[in-house]
Amino acid sequence: MRNDLKVLYNEVEIAAKVAELAAKINADYRDRDLAIVGVLKGCFIFLADLVRLLDTDCTVDFLGLSSYGRRHATDGVVQITSDLTLPIRGRDVLIVEDIIDTGITMRYLVENLKTRRPKSLAICTLLYRDSGEACMVPVDYAGFTFQDHYVIGYGLDYAGLHRNIPFVGYKPG
């Protein structure tokens, strides 16, 4: 598969973007009570790279969400498949996501986490697919904005596979 892909963002470009995002987060979260919340499974590589560049104390927790009933199309149904293990009440929560497309998944998550009364809630995504329609949630830290392609690699999957590809790519045609 890897050899059939076109590279959208290579390892060097990704590393530079992650460093850029980390610098902003470091500046914004100095002396705050940062709770990183990663959205499984797609976030795992991005989050691992990002948190190692954070120089502020933080906890790291994960939750599992599923939004794709079928392979490519969002069916609008979002479910928490595994929940956080740490309370977030009163804390400065930063959600870390691999990609935001329609924003349906993220909107659901934001609404859910708000009921747990965090002190603040912000969103960081490596990728943002701009479909021309307004995203359903405001994104505080967005890495790359792109159009059209279904992308895989650097944590992102197609039918559960290809998360281990070190760059972000797509199948042409």
Residues that bind ligand IMP (CB under 6 A): 42, 67-68, 74, 97-106, 150-152, 156
Which residue type sits at 150?
Answer: Y
For the record, the structure tokens of 60 come out as 């790291």
For ligand IMP, the closer of residues 25 and 137 by Cβ is 137
* CB-count exposure of residue 94 (10 Å: 0-12, 13-18, 19+): buried
Shortest distance, CB of residue 25 to Mg ion, whole angstroms? 19
- Residue position matching structure tokens 């390892």: 11
For ligand IMP, the closer of residues 31 and 128 by Cβ is 128
Query: Which of Mg ion, ligand IMP, none binds 92 (CB below 5-8 Å, type-dependent)?
Result: none
For ligand IMP, the closer of residues 56 and 144 by Cβ is 144
Instruction: Tell me the β-bridge partners of 123.
Output: 95
For the record, the structure tokens of 45 come out as 């590589």
| 3-state DSSP of 30-91 | CCCCEEEEEEECCCHHHHHHHHCCCCCCEEEEEEEEECCCCCCCCCCCCEEEECCCCCCCCC
Shortest distance, CB of residue 57 to ligand IMP, whole angstroms? 27
Binding region for Mg ion (CB under 5 A): 39, 42, 98
For ligand IMP, the closer of residues 10 and 89 by Cβ is 10
Query: Which of Mg ion, ligand IMP, none binds 49 (CB below 5-8 Å, type-dependent)?
Result: none
Shortest distance, CB of residue 171 to ligand IMP, whole angstroms? 11
Element (H, E) at 100: strand 92-100
Shortest distance, CB of residue 125 to Mg ion, whole angstroms? 8
Q: Looking at 101, 130, 140, 148, which residue is catalytic? A: 101
Q: State yes or no: is 101 an active-site residue.
A: yes
Query: Which of ligand IMP, Mg ion, none binds 125 (CB below 5-8 Å, type-dependent)?
Result: none
92 near 33, Cβ under 8 Å?
yes
Catalytic annotation, residues: 101
